[in-house]
Structure 1
Amino acid sequence: MSVTDTEAAGTAPGSVADAAPAVLTPRLRLVLVLLLATQFMLAVDFAILNVALPVIGGDLGFPLAHLQWIATAFALCAAGFTLLFGRVADLFGRRRLFLGGLVVLSAASLVGGLARNPEMLIAARVFQGLATAAVTPAALSLMTTSFPEGPLRQKALGLNGALMSSGFTTGAVLGGVLTDLLSWRWAFFINVPVALAVLLVAPTVIRESRPDERPTLDLPGAISVTLGLLAVIFGLTQAGEKGWTSATTLVSLAAGVVLLLVFYAVESKVSAPLVPLGVLRKRSVAWGNVAGLIAFLTECSLVFPLTLYLQDVLGFSALTAGLSFGVLGLGTVTGGITAPKIIGKTGSKRTLIVGGILQTVFTAALLGLGADRSWMWLMLAASFLGGVGNMLVIVGFMVTATTGLPDHEQGLATGLATMTQQVGITMGTPIMSAVVTAAMTGTAVPAMLGGLKVAIGVNAALVLLGLLTSALFLHSDRAPTR
């Protein structure tokens, strides 16, 4: 561990790991608040414009066919550049990238709120996505290097996971409220004061963290993995819009796979790889990220069929449907608060398994939904308990995928974890949309409900797959003793 890494962890240079603080000091508490506030804001950004898309299209003259690019431009950059920026944070300074990304986010949000035409708005969304790709892994790696392995880090990651997951739900509700009461422009403007407040305080309490020696950045690896991820994510978004058999979808996905294979080949030969293959061969990293990918894919995408169920089957308004997902958000917050205690007593693998069982059982329970409003109790109860289970998996994944690595690789580990999160969020809804479209045999309520249940069944099967991979391939870990 370098001197700067050690100082970032709150210990004196040369001290042993056991000397790391076992309780939150006032400075660490403020660091945690700043990082959590930033992560929550970024999570809100993923969903805050969804409800406002039709209004934005009418105000700025977006063609209906191009309206989805408001979300796609953000998602492409947020997911495609995350791994690259995670490594850049390791090489050039995590705090530096964190603060620089917040500056870009503030400027892009201001431009988006002031946009007068589609081109200006799309450009703002691109830079918001790039800022998210920089800030998210930097903030997460600052968190893992500021808090030592054990109860403090587990608590920090638990709160982080809970706030991020509830941020997606909050974004949907907040977007509708701001659009109805003020203007869709406030969905952009709201970022500016939050980011400026963090920028004002963070330099005085968050210490820089970077290696003493700065290795050469692996440009061939960075280019191939970034282009590969962009192609895969673009292909997934096109699948949701044009179908899985469209030429655009198939060509994009094939190109993405080829570029990712090129990336793997590059990493096996270069002297300073972007992602050392030895890290990917660690079971905790590889299978932990598989569990995380499935967790984010399933719970975020489950909102899609449930939204259709609430509005098209039960006839609720969009605002009522959005508010109903507050119960899911409450479940994720409960799971995030509970997860560190369970990890502390049983270890992260058992927490992943317990969470996977809960999420599988209560996602499958949604197959019992009926066509009248008397079934709302089942949707709300299953959403809450499934949300608890999902957050146990997410926090377990974050702890598993970032444990046992030296501080100089934490940016890489958190970059991988963040990329897993962004890709899971991005690919989930297109998959569920394609399943619903293929399974529906008509527009009548029974046919629609049947199609939605097929999508829910696929979702539950994916959760079960994640549970089995964690149970079979992750090593058992003992609960921390300190």
Structure 2
Amino acid sequence: MAIHPPAQEALTPPAPPAPDRLTGRARLVLLVLCAAQFMVSLDFSVLNVALPVLGDDLGLSRSGLQWAITAFALPSGGFLLLFGRIADLYGRRRMFLAGLAVFGAASLLATLAWNPAAFLTGRALQGLGAAVIVPTGMSLLTTTFPEGPLRDRALGISGTLLSLGFTVGMVAGGTLTDTLGWRSTMGLLTVAAVAVLATAPALLTESRTPDRPRLDIPGAATVTGGLLALIYALSTAAEHGFGRGDVQIALVLGVALLIAFAVVESRARTPLVSLPMLRRRTVAFGNLGGLLTFSMMTTVVFVLTLYLQEVLDLSAFGTGLVFGVQGLASVVAGVYAPKVIGRIGARRTLSFSLLGQGLFIAALLGLGADSGVWLATAAVSLASVCHLGAIIAYGLTVTSGVPNEEQGLATGLVTTTQQVGLTVGIPLLGVIATADSSLYDGVRTVVAVAAALLIVAAGVVATGLRTVSSPAGAETSPAAAKPSLAAAESSPAAAKSSPSGD
């Protein structure tokens, strides 16, 4: 009788566990990627305070000032999915560096702008650069740091800086404009882009999808056109309302193009967005949570700014201090949120964070017509803690279990949700505050609606994300828990050493 020694087991050793500590090089990579994300986040708010001074200097009308924001928002939101997929196919590092170069050159053009056309061109090119940087930077992060504690920590730091960048931009914009002039706000972004671009090539390694399927041009055209139309409609409605003809036409066109996109993708041989990916519960419900947490938080911050300055007559400096406390709370949340996720999982963290954000926003219903600074500071800061937890958790939920070759697409969906969330909330709810006969009553109405939507979303997300928890705290669907074919094929050595690998 032949005796078979148990040598085959030794030929297939278990994969080593993912490291749970950042190496020195990994820290530098994380620093570069987070610096780029922080720079883009800063760009969303650093110019806001400077707009009146900028308008006087360049001769921009009030409607022109609105385009200073819209010119950036249109390309930064409309091209995210397209550039995320191009990076998957042709190289994430290459696209990331190209995006940094475009962003830096555009910031320099905006700094030196000699007339409105030059400035608005610079802003549009900044948005185009941001549309490359955000999805490629996020996909480089998720492909560099494996699922588990390292990715949790990396996304925690990234989410903290994303949230902090918006707050720092509000404070820095006013300070720079008062001391050095409005051009210094754009000059700051130029310096930041050059610094990151000088450091990144030595640290980042290239990654792309192994095979290069043909780019889905019809899908790219319909989704990009649809997003551009919707972002234009919503950002214009924030300034002029939904009664304008161009807003209504853009809304109809945007919806029609996105419906056409769904039809095109269902028939495409190599779709830009895999419909099975969109049907993943982690992707669908994770992005729903992300959309609500971003849109409601930006709306509440907007109406609180109106309340503090126009109802309570608080100065701009005092208002900045309130949101400065909010920024510090976000930093603290960024430290502890990954630890919470490691204990209870991304799904539960997302649901509980949405619920907590809704409840703390509901506390703002206690604001008075003549007092409420302390309540506003405490409630918005605690809501921001939950908001940051939701940001990190939804990013982990959407990208977990997604193969590396589709990380650019998954992170493109994450960042598109982020951009749409930042754009959609104020037009849809913020106009309630300004349209009401009493600003105080309008603010309370917005707060009530935002709180209700978040609380309902928490229940919907908790119900929809019926997933299996992994020991590392990341959560995957039962299907994703099975070894993927791509993973097996990517390891020739493992295939050869298996008992069946003759």
- TM-score scaled to structure 1, two decimals? 0.93
Which of 92, 99, 102 is the matching residue for 1:101? 99
**Corresponding residue for 1:172?**
170
Shift of 1:219: 0.6
Q: Root-mean-square deviation (CA), in Å?
A: 1.5
Q: Return the alpha-carbon distance in structure 1 between the equivalents of residues 162 and 465 of structure 2.
A: 25
TM-superposed CA distance for 1:16, in Å, is: 7.5
Amino acid at match of 1:427: V
CA distance in 1, matches of 2:278, 2:263: 14
Residue equivalent to 1:472: 463
Aligned partner of residue 267 in structure 2, secondary structure: coil
Q: How does 1:370-385 map to 2 (within 5 A)?
A: 370-373=368-371, 375-385=372-382
CA distance in 1, matches of 2:347, 2:393: 7
Structure of larger gyration radius: 2
Counterparts in 2 of 1:15 and 1:40: CA distance versus 1, 3 Å:
farther
Per-residue deviation, residues 114-147 of structure 1 (Å, max 9, x unmatched):
0011000000000000000000000000000000
Residue in 1 that maps onto 2:350: 352
Contact 1:78 1:129 in 2 (8 A): yes
* 1:407 aligned partner: 404
Larger CA deviation: 470-479 vs 55-64: 470-479
1:42 Cα offset (Å): 0.7
Number of residues paired by the alignment?
A: 462
User: Which residue identity is paired with 2:450?
Assistant: N
Judge which range, 248-257 or 273-282, deviates more.
248-257
Structure 2 counterpart of 1:451? 442
SS at match of 1:460: helix
Matching residue of 2:22: 24
Q: CA deviation at 1:259?
A: 0.1
Shift of 1:196: 1.6
Distance 1:53 1:351, change over 3 A: same
Contact 1:176 1:319 survives alignment (8 Å): no
Task: Tell me the secondary structure at the aligned position of residue 148 of structure 1.
Answer: coil
| Structure 1 residues 481 and 105, CA gap change in structure 2 (3 angstroms) | closer
One-letter amino acid of the structure 1 residue matched with residue 292 of structure 2: I
Retained in 1: the 8 A contact 2:45–2:169?
yes
Is the Cα–Cα contact under 8 Å of residues 158 and 340 in structure 1 kept in the other structure? Answer: yes
Cα distance in structure 2, aligned partners of 1:60 and 1:437 = 28
* CA displacement, residues 164-195 of structure 1 (integer Å, 9 cap, x when unaligned): 01111111111111001111101111122222
Find the counterpart in structure 1 of residue 451 from structure 2: 460
Distance in 1 between residues matched to 2:279 and 2:13, nearest whole Å = 30
The letter of the residue matching 2:471 is P
Whole-Å separation in 2 of the counterparts to 1:376 and 1:457: 18
Structure 1 pair 18–421 and aligned structure 2 pair: CA distance change class (3 A): farther
Structure 2 counterpart SS, 1:190: helix
Partner amino acid for 1:388? V
381, 384, 389: which is aligned to 1:387? 384
In structure 2, C-alpha distance between the alignment counterparts of 1:423 and 1:394, rounded to whole Å: 14
2:179: which partner in 1? 181
Residue of 55, 74, 93 corresponding to 1:76: 74
* Superimposed CA distance per residue, residues 276-298 of structure 1 (whole angstroms, 9 cap, x where no aligned partner): 11110100011100100111101
Aligned to 1:87: 85
In structure 2, give the amino acid aligned to 1:461. A
Residue 273 of structure 1 corresponds to which residue in structure 2? 271
1:422-454 superposed Cα distances (whole Å, 9 cap, x missing partner): 11001122223221133x21xxxxx22111111
* Alpha-carbon shift at residue 17 of structure 1 (Å): 6.0
Q: TM-score, normalised by structure 2?
A: 0.90
Alpha-carbon distance in structure 2 between the residues aligned to 1:49 and 1:111: 15
Note if 1:37 corresponds to 2:35: yes
1:424 matched to which residue of 2? 421
Aligned partner of residue 417 in structure 2, secondary structure: helix
Shift of 1:19: 4.5
Cross-structure match for 1:7: none
1:322–1:160 Cα change, 3 Å: same
Equivalence for 2:225: 227
Counterpart-to-counterpart distance in 1, 2:92 and 2:222: 23
CA drift of 1:478 comes to 1.8
Corresponding residue for 1:328?
326
Q: What is the DSSP-based 3-state SS (H/G/I as helix, E as strand, rest coil) of the residue aligned with 1:71?
A: helix
Alpha-carbon distance between aligned partners in 1 of 2:17 and 2:430, rounded to the nearest angstrom: 51
Partners of 1:432 and 1:304 in 2: CA distance: 10
Match of 1:54 among 32, 52, 76: 52
Residue by residue, what CA displacement relative to the aligned partner does 1:42-73 show, whole Å, maximum 9, x if unpaired? 10000111111111000000012221000011
Deviations 1:240-264 (A, max 9, x none): 1222233222211111000000001
8 Å contact kept, 2:149–2:472: no
Q: What's the offset of the Cα at 1:163?
A: 0.8
Which residue is equivalent to 2:244? 246
Contact 1:347–1:477 (CA under 8 A) maintained in structure 2: no
- Of residues 14-23 and 188-197 in structure 1, the stretch that sits farther from structure 2 once superposed is 14-23
Q: Which letter does structure 2 place at the counterpart of 1:86?
A: G
The question of whether the paired residues in 1 share the 8 Å contact of 2:359 and 2:455 is answered with no
Q: Is the 8 A contact 1:349 1:477 kept in 2?
A: no
Letter in 2 for 1:378: L
User: Do the aligned residues in 2 keep the contact of 1:228 with 1:256 (CA within 8 Å)?
Assistant: yes
What's the counterpart of residue 5 of structure 2?
none
Corresponding position of 2:9: none
CA shift digits 1:353-382 (9 cap, x unpaired):
221121111100001001224x21111110
Contact residue 347 and residue 480 of structure 1 kept, 8 A: no
Please report how far the alpha carbon of residue 212 of structure 1 lies from its aligned counterpart in structure 2 after TM superposition: 2.0
- Distance change in 2, residues 1:278/1:113 (3 Å): same
Counterpart of 1:450, as a letter, is D
For 2:228 and 2:421, locate their aligned partners in 1 and report how far apart those are by CA, in whole Å: 14
Shift of 1:420: 0.4
Q: What is the CA distance between 1:326 and its match in structure 2? A: 1.0
Distance 2:346 2:158 in 1: 16
Equivalent in the alignment of 1:444: none
> Conserved in 2, the CA contact under 8 Å of 1:345 and 1:479?
no
Percent identity of equivalent pairs = 49
Gaps of 5+ in 1: 1-13, 442-446
2:469 aligned counterpart, secondary structure = coil
Is contact 1:284-1:474 (8 Å) kept? yes
The answer on 1:306 being equivalent to 2:304 is yes
Query: SS in structure 2 opposite 1:450?
Result: helix
Letter paired with 1:424? G
> Is contact 1:244–1:434 with CA below 8 Å preserved after alignment?
no
